[in-house]
Amino acid sequence: MTEGSGAASAPLLAIEASGLGRAMREWLWLYPSVEIVHIVGIGLLFGSIAVLDLRLLGVSRGIPVKTLARHVLPWTAASFLLIVPSGLMMFTAHASDFISSPVFVVKMCLIMAAGLNAALFHAVTLPSVEVWDSEEMRKLPPPPSVRLAGALSLAIWIAVIACGRLLAYF
Ligand code: HEM
C-alpha cells in the first residue's frame, strides 16, 4: 500500500485511530491472520461461483442448472461472512490510503458490478430456467444470455481478485 496520498478526511482518520485500526497496525499477528480469513473466503467464493459459471457456459450439462445453483450458491453467500468483515478490518488499518488508491475504488466498483450481474441473472434469466435448461435443451449449448452471464461473472471475479492482490502495490 502506498503511503499518505492526498489529504485524508476526518472520518477516515477516525477509523484509522480507532482501537481496531490501531490493533490491526500494531499487533504483529492480527493483520496477517485477518488476511488469511479474507483469502479463505475468496477461495470459497470463487470455488463455488466458478463451477456455476462454467455450467452456465455449457460445461457439465448433465447437471441441471437449478440443482447446481441450489447446491453451490449457499456456499457463495457464506463466503461473504468471511470476506466482508475481514476486508473491513483490513480497511480500518489504512483507511485513507485505501480510499485514495484507484485500485481499491475499481475493486469496489467491480464487486458492485458482479452483484448487479448476479441480480440481473436471477431476475431476468433464471425464472425461465425450466425452458432453456430442460432435458431436451441441455443437449445444446445454453442460450447466449446465459453464457454471457457466466462469462461476465468469471471475468469480474477474476478482476476483483487481481485488484485485491494489486492493492499491496498501488
Ligand atoms: C467480495 C470479494 C472480494 C475479493 C475477491 C477480494 C480479494 C482480495 C484479494 C485477492 C486480496 C489480496 C490478499 C493478499 O494479497 O494477501 C485482498 C485484500 C484486501 N481486501 Fe479484498 N476482496 C473482496 C472484498 C473486499 C471487501 C468487501 C473489502 C472491504 C473494504 C476488501 C478489502 C480489502 C483490503 C483492505 C485488502 C488488503 C490489501 C493489503 O493489505 O494489501 N475486500 N482482497
pLDDT confidence band for 168 (50 / 70 / 90):
very high
- Residue minimizing CA distance to atom 18 of ligand 1: 164
Write out the DSSP string of the chain: -----SPPPHHHHHHHHSHHHHHHHHSTTHHHHHHHHHHHHHHHHHHHHHHHHHHHHTTTTTS-HHHHHHHHHHHHHHHHHHHHHHHHHHHHHTHHHHHT-HHHHHHHHHHHHHHHHHHHIIIIIGGGHHHHTSTTGGGSPPPHHHHHHHHHHHHHHHHHHHHHHHTTT-
With cell 441473472, the residue in question is 121
Work out the average pLDDT over 23-38. Answer: 98
What cell numbers appear for 61 in the block? 450439462
The mean pLDDT of 12-38, rounded to a whole number, is 98
Query: Cα(150) to centroid of ligand 1, in Å?
Result: 22
Does 125 have pLDDT greater than 90? Answer: yes
Q: What is the pLDDT of residues 97-106, one digit of tens each?
A: 999 999 999 9
Give the model confidence (pLDDT) of 107-118 as tens digits.
999 999 999 999
Half-sphere CA count of 101, side-chain side, radius 13 A: 22
pLDDT at residue number 110: 98
Asked if residue 150 lies in contact with residue 57, where contact means CB atoms within 8 angstroms, the answer is yes
| Mean pLDDT score of the chain | 95
| Distance from the alpha carbon of residue 61 to the mean position of ligand 1, in angstroms | 33
Neighbours of 108 (CB within 10 A): 15
Q: Is the pLDDT of residue 87 over 90?
A: yes
Residue nearest to atom 13 of ligand 1 (CA): 165
